[in-house]
Amino acid sequence: MANKMQNIDNPVIGIDLLKMLMLQLYSNPRCIYREYIQNALDSINEAVKTGILAQEKDGRVSISITKNDICIEDNGTGIRSDKAVKILTDIANSVKNGVDTAGQFGVGRLSGGGYCEVLEFETTYMGEEVSTIVSLDTEALRELVDKKKADVSAEEAMRTICTSNTVPAKKEEHKFIVRLKNVINSREILLDVEEIKNYITEYAPIDYSVLFNTLINNCPQTEFVKKHKKIDKIRVSLNDYSDIEKGYGIKVLGTDDPIEKIRYFELPKHPKFGSLGWGWYAVTEFSVQINEEKDSCAGIRLRKHNISLDKNILNTCFKESRGNKYFYGEIFITNDNIVPDSGRQGLAAGEEADALIAEIKKYFSETLRQVYYRANKMKSALNKAGEIVGKLNNPEFASAVGPLTKRLQEHIDDFRKVTAPDNKEEINDVIAIYVDKYNSELKSEVEKHLVSQEPIVEKEPDILDMVAEPMMSEPVEPTPPAIPRNTVTPDVAPEIKPTSVPPSKQPPVTRIIPTNITPKQKTPPQPKSKIDEILFSLEEKNYNPEQVDLLKKIFSTMLVVCPSSQKKSVIQLMTIAVNNLK
């Protein structure tokens, strides 16, 4: 006997759906700010497309937190008055798809209801003289849920808890406002201005600081710089904080390591899915893991539409999860079919998402893991050499000069081995940092105790390298030839030739600094100081010589008194300050 088809009559979507969407959607209450900023981003982008706003940076989100209430307003398109009530009371009936919009399902706007007594939306569309207000009585919803009325559908519940009305508006206005009235849950988090400012700094699609943008603009990987400037960015203010910026600066707060440069990378295009993503990370000494308690920027973040997913999502892409804590960085998803899950804690399941994570794991394992491993080896060799130098300079160890000198030679040989050029540019970046560190902090001391040293490669100084000594108003004396402090002749390691590097991946231009050649008596011409280079442009801006000379004295004094590790940062600040002078 054939199976008989049965019609399904009037299925009911229960009230528990509203309970989930409004009262239980996110485990982290801070996420409601991300959702409302995300919706604002979509509205602002639409306003740019339709000509309501001239450009994306004209879009703004203003957040106000008071004693009991939260208000979030954007100047995007708003919603037409004839559609506002339906759009704001429909559930999961949005045109958003997560591809050309940051939002996906149209349910995130309900999430604030779980934390307040009344959730209210107000919207105004340009050209209309009316604002539409829709209010959701979430206390009434809680009563319905508590009574466990199984016969009440989600649609019936929405009709019960929702009211709407209109108020006059100006024709030129266009806005959308979310109000959480009388916050009752997670008050200590949601009403903490400093806490929410820090959260916005981490997760929102906002711009970088002026200092970090200087690092971006100075990067020679110009094709990525152009991409970086085009990522979604809107202006977000919170109470007295205007135009909140991401937390990246010119040094890593959690380690105090200066950021030498930005290194960009692109994940390989997938043969089936095409482009997956690209990213950047800060090149530093990678001296230690970044302390997350001191620095919320620790780790490489995964972002879609410049909105961060969970901060720890990429930890598992390293063989050791701690590996991610050596880095500052971001990866921007470029594949349209890769979207976050509903809570943005991870990625929605899909082949493209699997391919993305596989490529990230490969890059982290084959390249970034080697970066901080090599850094640790170089740091270890330098530290050991420094300890031996300290003992050789201490009269208490005079009887052990011979063995100590031999050990010093071994550590310097080890350092030379781990600083041999590599075929990966990422590793050569960190090699250059440690070679510079050796030359500036240890080289002269090593030369006091070792003779016939092989030269160590030193990179050419860039525009932000240390200023010339004449700027300090002190005479420059020629360096005397190294004189052995004892009669013990250390074993000299055989020459270690650098690894052959393909022409396309040659490291930066280098010069060889010999350590065993007596300087010529003729003093070479002194180089122009960095301060002179920075101040040169002021002559074209009609600043008189007395003013320029005064600035030169101030800048020189700043460099004398600041710690040596911060001189590059100070020079960057000087450059920015002079460029901003009119």
The pLDDT tens digits of the residues spanning 521-542 come to: 444 444 467 777 777 777 666 7
Task: Please give the pLDDT value at position 465.
Answer: 39
Q: Which two tokens stand for residue 61?
A: 């989100």
As to burial, measured by CB atoms within 10 angstroms (0-12 exposed, 13-18 middle, 19+ buried), residue 405 is buried
In the DSSP assignment, the letter for residue 468 is P
Three-state secondary structure call for residue 65: strand
In the DSSP assignment, the letter for residue 274 is B
Q: Which two tokens stand for residue 417?
A: 């081995």
More confident residue, 334 or 532: 334
Q: Which two tokens stand for residue 126?
A: 């340009």
- What lies within 8 Å, CB to CB, of 188 at 6+ separation is none
**Residue 227: which H helix or E strand, with range?**
helix 222-230
CATH assignment, 16-202:
3.30.565.10
Q: How confident is the model at residue 427 (pLDDT cuts 50, 70, 90)?
A: very high
Q: How far is CA 551 from CA 13, 222, 472, 526, in A?
A: 72, 32, 14, 21
How crowded is residue 313: how many other Cβ atoms within 10 Å of its Cβ? 21
Task: Please give the pLDDT value at position 463.
Answer: 35
**Residue 205: which H helix or E strand, with range?**
none
d(CA 505, CA 502): 5
Q: How confident is the model at residue 485 (pLDDT cuts 50, 70, 90)?
A: very low
For CA atoms 462, 465, 471, 476, the dihedral sign is negative
The pLDDT of 259-270, averaged and rounded, is: 96
Task: Please give the pLDDT value at position 512.
Answer: 39
Q: How far is CA 479 from CA 11, 357, 438, 459, 517, in A?
A: 89, 54, 17, 20, 10
* pLDDT tens string 342-400: 777 889 999 999 999 999 999 999 999 999 999 999 999 999 999 999 999 999 999 99
More confident residue, 442 or 155: 442
The pLDDT of 405-420, averaged and rounded, is: 95
Q: How confident is the model at residue 107 (pLDDT cuts 50, 70, 90)?
A: low
Given the structure tokens 């003093």, which residue do they identify?
Answer: 523
d(CA 57, CA 44): 9
Q: How confident is the model at residue 139 (pLDDT cuts 50, 70, 90)?
A: confident
d(CA 352, CA 337): 7
Q: What is the pTM of this model?
A: 0.74
Q: What architecture does CATH give domain 210-367?
A: 2-Layer Sandwich (3.30)
Pairing mode, strands 261-266 and 257-258: unpaired
- What lies within 8 Å, CB to CB, of 395 at 6+ separation is none
